[in-house]
């Protein structure tokens, strides 16, 4: 399939989350940091809008990653950070809107995304294509969220929600 330069520039812009993925150092971490405003906005809107947007963005991210990989003939390029965006939004779902949630969510998500313990590492190594790019970040987000939900329900560490 022939894709125009303008279309590929748009796909690269989206895949790199506004080119933050082009950072020479720690593009995944920078991509996660660049997701904080969106996560804050979605959390302020409420749990259901957060989940709907996250689901739709996940599907969209898979298609963007497929297009990026097909054009550049590469798999899971470091500059693709839309997968970190999706993973972090999953991490932050159904949590209180507090600075503690953001700090622990960021730490947990980056920990699991970088170290890739089982099953995250297995997904990263065995799934190909656009879904493979996003799947390990989905898993890191789910595991991070489960830990944060446990902390939220068993302790007061995540504080009280900052209602707008």
Tokens coding 155: 């302790």
Task: Tell me how far the alpha carbon of residue 122 is from its chain's centroid.
Answer: 18
pTM exceeds 0.85: yes
**Per-residue pLDDT for the chain (164 aa), expressed as one digit of tens each?**
556 889 999 999 999 999 999 999 999 999 999 999 999 999 999 999 999 999 999 999 999 999 999 999 888 899 999 999 999 999 999 999 999 999 999 999 999 999 999 999 999 999 999 999 999 999 999 999 999 999 999 988 888 766 55
Q: How many CB atoms lie within 10 A of CB 92?
A: 27
């Amino acid at each position: 399939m022939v894709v125009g330069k303008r279309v590929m520039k748009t796909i690269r812009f989206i895949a790199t989350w506004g080119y933050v993925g082009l950072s020479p150092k720690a593009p995944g971490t920078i991509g996660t940091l660049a997701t904080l405003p969106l996560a804050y906005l979605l959390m302020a809107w409420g749990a259901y809008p957060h989940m709907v947007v996250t689901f739709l963005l996940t599907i969209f991210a898979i298609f963007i990653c497929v297009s990026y990989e097909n054009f550049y003939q590469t798999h899971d390029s470091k500059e693709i950070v839309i997968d970190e965006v999706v993973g972090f939004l999953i991490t932050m779902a159904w949590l209180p809107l507090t600075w503690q949630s953001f700090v622990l969510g960021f730490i947990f998500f980056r920990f699991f995304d970088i170290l890739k313990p089982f099953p995250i590492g297995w997904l990263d190594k065995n799934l190909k294509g656009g879904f493979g790019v996003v799947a390990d970040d989905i898993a890191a987000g789910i595991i991070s969220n489960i830990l944060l939900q446990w902390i939220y329900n068993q302790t007061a560490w995540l504080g009280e929600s900052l209602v707008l």
